Chain A
């Protein structure tokens, strides 16, 4: 088994709330290359979770997909019925949601989690066989097989996150989607778990879509980086090229605001202004109110996502495109 390609086109998702419709993802295009680690980066409210929830069909009930497609192995996932999608869940696409540590059932041992998931997806198998399988997966995330007998409350946050990552590889899916897999952990555990993700990726060749607000984390782990701002996907490209020379003015600001020992701290600066409300997002490019290069056209028309060569894409009028 190897990694699958995912192509998201023109995805539009809104959330219906009392005040109106929150335009959480607008005309989003995204490509996860087969076998790559793709980091989807953005600040809170940028729509990154919405995009992965659309891919994994886990959007909350007040969300409406207004249009677009999510192509996975030639099939548009958005067109599948809930029953049809079940063939994909866990087997082809597994999903580790944000704060997933809390999603373990406190009344079940870790082994029962593995057993139940297996029974649900592929029917029950002999206990001993499953035990062996689960123990091997746990070993690959640095946990002892004795953890299988433990209840969630007996494990630390880092251990629970490891269990969930192991569980997501139970059926060796071709795509694993992880939403902020390390944001709730201390820095030491963060590094160790990112290391495990990288090892698992190398071992199984799975495509990984990693959602993170943490730019240094994306920089260390990802082959490709995609950036979202206020519901728009504004830039997508290879890791080195992205950090070397971010193209979109928002990406430039984001990279410049990064505080890390690998950056020159005296040059760090924040992006003036603040993200817009997605109930009534600004017309045109949603970054234009904060953009130092804003032109008239930016205020009126939404720029297309333009291919600029070298496998890089940018949604900005500075790089041309027909008005």
Chain B
């Protein structure tokens, strides 16, 4: 399987403050990611975890401070300008906010037809219809002359996805595509992204702060990446990460996700306390090399201050934690739907 994008030990540092009080913020630290053709990846992390910076590096909006990015096997920083532009077309970014990312004075038809014409696609009308069908805006003709303000948030986001498809990409990176969409319509956006992956073999990376939504997207065959403080702290096949989480932060995140049944609330919160020291605001602690979770981690030991890297603990399942063996046994919490269906794993 070939790779659309590969990141090799990529870090990104942002400077802030004046010359005299210079601060350095490591938005992404030492990330290595391979996005295979036709693969499905969900990235989960809280705000400030580096997930958006990671997406911007993958799509070429940011240059890494360290490490290398490869598109289709070619090092991006060595690409001639023309080739950079050509390859960048194949890797499309879908913005979080469908209310500002679409041109309000352009109809649905023109939103898709203009970029198609610009790219020299023939049979524009047929292609527009086809794209609208792919993102489940049907019947297409009914929507041709509508403007974005006629559409619900979910539909706008799907139109933004269709616009990304006009470039015939091999990878779509969708950054928090459902955070601004109403609840009853979120599934429709995730299902369209899932469908593009399953039906036309497009590689899709979906970024979310909600691990339940991330799992929904990556379940049955996708990969789940968990980020904290700029680092990928755990990754692997989604079922393995969700049913056998190995990093204390992944467990915290899973336990912190609200579930709809009453009666487990206090239990959920007391279980969370096992995996986080205090209510301290999330943030990256420790040195640049160290585990970013060290300040909040109840299992932290002196060795955690030293350099940390992802290690494979079972096939395809990686975790960046030196204290994996110190963690208690994990059984799916009783409120999990699949707690009663262990065979899922």
Chain A residues packing against B (C-beta within 8 Å):
43-44, 142, 156-159, 186-192, 194-195, 198, 213-221, 239-240, 243, 253-255, 257-265, 268-271, 274-275
Contact = CB atoms under 8 A, between A and B. Distances in A.
A220 B262 contact: yes
A219 B259 contact: yes
Given A263-B337, A270-B154, A275-B152, A257 B187 contact: yes
B195 to A, nearest CB: 13
Interface in B199-218: 209-213, 215-216
B284 to A, nearest CB: 14
Given A158-B279, A221-B265, A191 B260 contact: no
* Leading 8 A-B pairs by shortest Cβ distance: A219-B260, A274-B152, A262-B259, A216-B258, A156-B281, A270-B187, A270-B188, A43-B182
Contacts of B252: 188
Interface of B: 46-47, 151-152, 154-155, 182-188, 190-191, 209-213, 215-216, 219, 242, 252-262, 264-266, 268-269, 272, 276, 279, 281-282, 333, 335-338
Given A188-B46, A195-B266, A216-B259, 19 more contacts: A157-B281, A191-B258, A194-B258, A214-B183, A215-B260, A216-B257, A255-B260, A257-B183, A257-B184, A257-B186, A259-B186, A260-B212, A261-B254, A262-B337, A263-B260, A265-B219, A265-B337, A268-B187, A270-B186
Most interface-central of A158, A215, A221, A258 (chain B CB within 10 A) = A258
Contacts of B191: 270
State the majority secondary structure of interface residues on A: helix
Contacts of B183: 43, 213-215, 254, 257-258
A192 B47 CA distance: 17
Nearest to B188: A270
B16 to A, nearest CB: 16
A196 to B, nearest CB: 10
Contacts of A218: 260
Given A220-B261, A239-B262, A261 B335 contact: yes
A43 B184 contact: yes
A195 B335 CA distance: 17
Contacts of B212: 259-261
B259 A187 contact: no
A190 B258 contact: yes
Contact of A262 (B242, B253, B255, B336): B336
Nearest to B341: A264
A187 B256 contact: yes
Given A158-B279, A188-B256, A262-B259, A198 B184 contact: no
Contacts of A264: 337
B221 to A, nearest CB: 13
Nearest to B155: A274
A274 B98 CA distance: 15
Contacts of B190: 259
A271 B185 contact: yes
A145 to B, nearest CB: 16
A220 B276 contact: no
Nearest to B187: A270
A261 B269 contact: no
B260 A243 contact: yes
Contacts of B209: 186-187
Contacts of A158: 279, 281
Most interface-central of A142, A198, A240, A274 (chain B CB within 10 A) = A274
Given A219-B262, A270-B187, A187 B215 contact: no
